[in-house]
Amino acid sequence: MEKIKIGIIGTGSISVEHIESYLKNDHVELYAFCDLNEERLKYMAEKYNVKHTFTDMDEMLKLKEIDAVSVCTWNSAHAPCAIAALNAGKHVLCEKPMSVSEEDAKAMKAAADKNGKLLMIGFVRRYGNDCKILKDFINSDYFGDIYYAKATYLRRKGNPGGWFGDKSRSGGGPLIDLGVHVIDLVRFLMGNPKPVSVYGTTFKKLGNRDNIKGKKSYRSSSATDHDICDVEDLASAMIRFDNGAVLSIEASFSLNLKKDEGKIELFGTKGGAKLDPELELYSEINDYLTDVKLDAETSLSFDGLFAKEINHFVSCITEGTPCISPAQDGIEIMAILDAIYKSAATGHEVIL
């Protein structure tokens, strides 16, 4: 089988995960890179021995031999880049979040539908080993009816700088960068129920905490010493779905807590679970409350995580495999994010 040729739009930090994963796939040829930053573009092209480089996306997309692209830009460029690629006849894998608004997300899907091309969204947590294990238990009805969930993605000092703190490019702060991961994962585990209402709040109190001394744990490849920081540093929300289930979410870049936290909890009529990061299960057996710890690796492994996502994207293109993170799911997540920001701004519940 002839290898499919891949272009990368945006060669920042997250693109490395895509590039390394494409290189491990025997059905792919990494063909072209595009980035506005000439210095970064040159560095990445030399590192990965890519001969076709562009600072103009439209020029790269004129290459008829390119079959598909990964969009790895800052968030506000996702929609224009993806739409341009789709209109040029390329399949697209777009990093999360799908865009910076539900309106843009719908325009992206419309372009995919019009051109008959795949638009897959980079909800990488769907491809994790922890998600697979939980799905095994959900599919065997271990939990019964999952009616409530809690998800936290909290950093004590975790603003990456660069475009992440610049709302004009990011569309928001930890909610749209971190919260999107766990909102999507929980919704996916619950069977993708439709959101019907949202109450949310955001805070901009601590900023990027440049005054704090010591090592920076999170740093964007675009970070400088003079970055803008006009996004929220904490967001929380309650999301109600059409099946009556509710998800409570918290996400922060900066928060006065003891240590960073990433935790998901599911509560059902038959059993419950906590992923923190190992999976624990709770139920009752013979009328006794029971806690279960699995004899397996249950915490999220990043080893091969993006490769699973990339391999699925390639399989969808080459073999017609049904996509498990399609554009419509991205639209529904964007509707939730839009509603949380709107609720935070108005102080009222938003009905979807």
Model confidence pLDDT, tens digit, residues 177-215: 999 999 999 999 999 999 999 999 999 999 988 888 877
pLDDT of amino acid 205 = 97
- Of the pLDDT bands very low, low, confident and very high (cuts 50, 70, 90), residue 225 is confident
Domain architecture of the chain: domains with CATH: 4-122+306-323 (3.40.50.720), 126-300 (3.30.360.10)
**Quick one: average pLDDT of 144-157?**
97
Cβ-count burial of 216 within 10 angstroms (0-12 exposed, 13-18 middle, 19+ buried)? middle
- Of the pLDDT bands very low, low, confident and very high (cuts 50, 70, 90), residue 218 is confident
Model confidence pLDDT, tens digit, residues 166-178: 999 999 999 999 9
Model confidence pLDDT, tens digit, residues 23-50: 999 999 999 999 999 999 999 999 999 9
pLDDT of amino acid 48 = 98
pLDDT of amino acid 221 = 78
- Rounded CA separation 222/224 (Å): 7
pLDDT of amino acid 222 = 79
- Rounded CA separation 236/153 (Å): 10
Model confidence pLDDT, tens digit, residues 50-101: 999 999 999 999 999 999 999 999 999 999 999 999 999 999 999 999 999 9
pLDDT of amino acid 223 = 79
pLDDT of amino acid 300 = 95
Q: Tokens 């704090």 correspond to what residue?
A: 212
